[in-house]
Structure 1
Amino acid sequence: MPPIMRADARLLVLGSLPGEASLKAARYYAHPQNQFWRLLGEALGEPLAALDYAQRVERLLTRRIALWDVIHAARREGSLDQAISEVEERDLRGFVAGLPELRAVAFNGATAAKIGRRALKGTGLELIDLPSSSPAYTLPFAGKAGRWSALKAFLD
């Protein structure tokens, strides 16, 4: 799926690879149990989860937040990151070079962080590891939201 972005983005949130529900719907974080929109909404102080998808995307763009994934292509049965194989990584270094106002990159989950940190090491960007928004990652919502609140520092 293409990135959600505008050229003056200040924050980039990277996941690993869209799951089955997201690919089928052609929407990021489409699975109803995924907490992404609730978590990001908490960090922004906006009820993103209550909005329809087009409104969510518009709010990200208005707030200068870009959204994409670290993996360009892979094989995977189901939606769990542990099942990902034959990974083709994105050219993240080239992508962020086209975002001159970017201040930080946040990684949604350990797989995104592992790939993204390796790709973006030495760029001078703030790199933030976040607990996965996936329902498979069983940290309670409040614990996840507390960590996701770090994103506030990179927004105007």
Structure 2
Amino acid sequence: MQVSSFPWLADSQSKQIILGSMPGVESLRQQQYYAHPRNQFWRIFYTLHGCDPGLSYKERTDFLLSKQTALWDVVSHCERAGSLDSDIENPVMNDFERLLTEFPNIRTFFFNGGKAFELFTRYVAPNLTINDHTYHKLPSSSPAYTLSFENKLKLWGIIIL
């Protein structure tokens, strides 16, 4: 099945970006980043900033942007049955030149999981004309990645500006 990612979530204050690979089935259904109730993304982000997750998706995304953090996916569209990164086939990458031209303050890239990092470093980074960025691979916030919440939280701690 052909699936497509969402538009970036960024503004002129964004200094860092968190990149997933491709939204899962539940996120695509709800048209929201990290919508699966067992995905720990929002819980991790809010815990690191010392507060409880906002109730609405708008509150969550507004809070993310208030922390100078953008959100997007490495893949623009691909073929995939289900939600597993391992099932991504024929990926087409998002336009990172356009993103970095529009938001030149973004200098640090955090990858939510190994697949996002692998796809970016293989298909995107070698072709970027703007190359003064720092890259950090983080453990996936997905429930499929079985590292404990506490360990994920420790490793994700580097996202705090």
TM over 0.5: yes
How big is the alpha-carbon RMSD for the aligned residues of Structure 1 and Structure 2?
1.5
Structure 1 residue ranges (4+ consecutive) displaced by more than 6 angstroms after TM superposition? none
- Residue number in structure 1 paired with 2:33: 28
In percent, how many aligned pairs have the same letter?
Answer: 38
- Residue number in structure 2 paired with 1:78: 82
Question: Counterpart of 2:120 in structure 1: which amino acid?
Answer: G
Would you say 1:88 and 2:122 are equivalent positions? no
- Offset at 1:117? 2.7
| TM-score (normalised: structure 1) | 0.91
- Residue number in structure 2 paired with 1:137: 145
Matches within 5 A, 1:56-67: 56-67=60-71
- Residue number in structure 2 paired with 1:45: 50
SS at match of 1:106: strand
- Residue number in structure 2 paired with 1:148: 156
- Residue number in structure 1 paired with 2:3: none
**Distance in 1 between residues matched to 2:50 and 2:110, nearest whole Å:** 17
CA-to-partner distance for each residue in 1:20-65, whole Å, 9 max, x for gaps? 10000010000000001011112222322x5321100110121121
Unaligned stretches of 5+ residues in structure 1: none
**Distance in 1 between residues matched to 2:151 and 2:142, nearest whole Å:** 13
Would you say 1:126 and 2:130 are equivalent positions? no
Distance change (3 Å), C-alpha of 1:137 and 1:61: same
CA-to-partner distance for each residue in 1:101-144, whole Å, 9 max, x for gaps? 11311000001011223423571111110000000001111111
| TM-score (normalised: structure 2) | 0.88
State the number of aligned residues: 152
SS at match of 1:61: helix
